[in-house]
Structure 1
Amino acid sequence: MTIDFFKMTDYKFAIIQYPNSLLSAVHGFNELFSLTNNLCQKDSIPIHIDAHILTLELLNSDTPYHAIFLPPSIDKHAYQSSNTLLAKWLDQQHQSGAILCCACAGAFFLAETDAIQNRKLTTHWALADALKERFPKQQLDTSKILIDQGDIVSAGGMMSWMDLGIALIRRFTQASIVRQLGKTLVVDTGNREQSYYRQFTPRFDHGDSKILTVQHYLQNHFSQTNSIKMLADIIHLTPRTFLRRFYKHTGWNPIRLHTTIAHSNSLQ
């Protein structure tokens, strides 16, 4: 079977190579996605990950990405300094539907954004005190290797970038590709399939900014009681129009999605 390239689904991923970021992770992400493309092509799966390594000078708000990856670093000066330019760019991408992902010290950059407010992160256990000192209001759970909140995904240890990459590959491709990756790289993906892969994955890249606003609201306020009318009022739509558009773009009823988000967070 050959791939119909006219039906190819192309996903844009950005790997942020900030100064003194861990190059083994930066290029490891890139090679992981390249290997994924090879496996998809071999199995005639019409999916392609278009990965870009971006230095801070190359950040462009005109180019939207499906997922953005913030790699680790072993240089504390690289991640303990404020970077408002990067934070603003990450917020713009998140508002356009991007999934924001970080591994280890990359959590410092994510914690500086507005997108992470009231959300939970994990990072390397040795960085927990420094992160809490700089961001005292940030919710942190370093007992978790990976915390997947749909539009925000964080991973803990220095080598957890591979867990992070594999989790996103599973979301955008198929479980069979992850199993083949495990065999090729000689890594165990069994635990990932049993825990992370059961999680729901609502779409964030549908392009409807009003519905995306409600999705982000539900992610941030999962512990609150919400009604269809209240959610519709947030984006100034009638309940009927809101329900129709929400289901069209996400495939979910908003109240059911809210319940699922709350349950997922209770398991994190």
Structure 2
Amino acid sequence: MPNQFHNLTNPEIDSHILFYGQQQCQPDEYFEGDNLRKNDVLYYVIKGTGSFLSSGHHEVKLKTGDLFLVPRSRTCSFQADHSNPWEYLWIGLTGSDTGKILKASNLPNKNFLRQIQNTKFFSTLTELYGVLNKKKTLLNHLQIASLTYQLFYHLVSEFPDHPPVRKIPKNDQYQIAINYLNKNYTDPTCNIIELCNRLGVSRSFLYSLFRKNTKISPQKYLMKLRMEAAKKELTSTTHNLKEVAKKVGYGDEFTFSKAFKRYSGVSPNVFRGN
């Protein structure tokens, strides 16, 4: 390798966590957003349901697995459901570069993301919140800083700020969706939420698009791709179930086996004739 020397321009990013917490809300408990926050705050719904309203957008119902953003200097309000009040955790972010980082994702477009559980962003958020609750030491602070930047990295990479594509004809949107699933179904991170984020459409819109063109939901289409590929693996190879599961987009053998039995009516071993 030839000798190298490079200067890293603008190496520092000014963003860090200022506060954090968790709350089990009372029925109908309401947060009034008229008092503008000086920080950006991420809220993740651990369980239950509630409603969220941010300036310039319609009120939405959010539930377990959803995340919403209360941006600095923007009015937002949210309220716990009466019969199933939500519990959420929050992380307050500060720093001159935080807004720039958030705007590189599509989170500020509506100030919420639905069903993020199967993402690296969520895994990092969970790990980060656990570390925040540990005894503060130098190693702990280093780990918090590391996980904070990992969180931003996965937010921007998994939920990039794509331009709206609703103006694309529906047939083209459908073909884009089909191509994405056909190409990526072997990847465990391929899921319908990710597809909606890539297309910039709601899950209900994508559902109607698939029902019109394929007569089945996008989730069932993805399942069919994986299960039919699994059948070919089971009948034409000697790969064990763990290997088959990995080849068709499942992270573990147990989840794959349950899904295969639901789809085929028999276990993978019975289908193979073992």
Do both share a fold (TM > 0.5)?
A: no
Structure (1 or 2) with the greater helix fraction: 1
Higher Rg: 2
Pick the structure with more strand per residue.
2
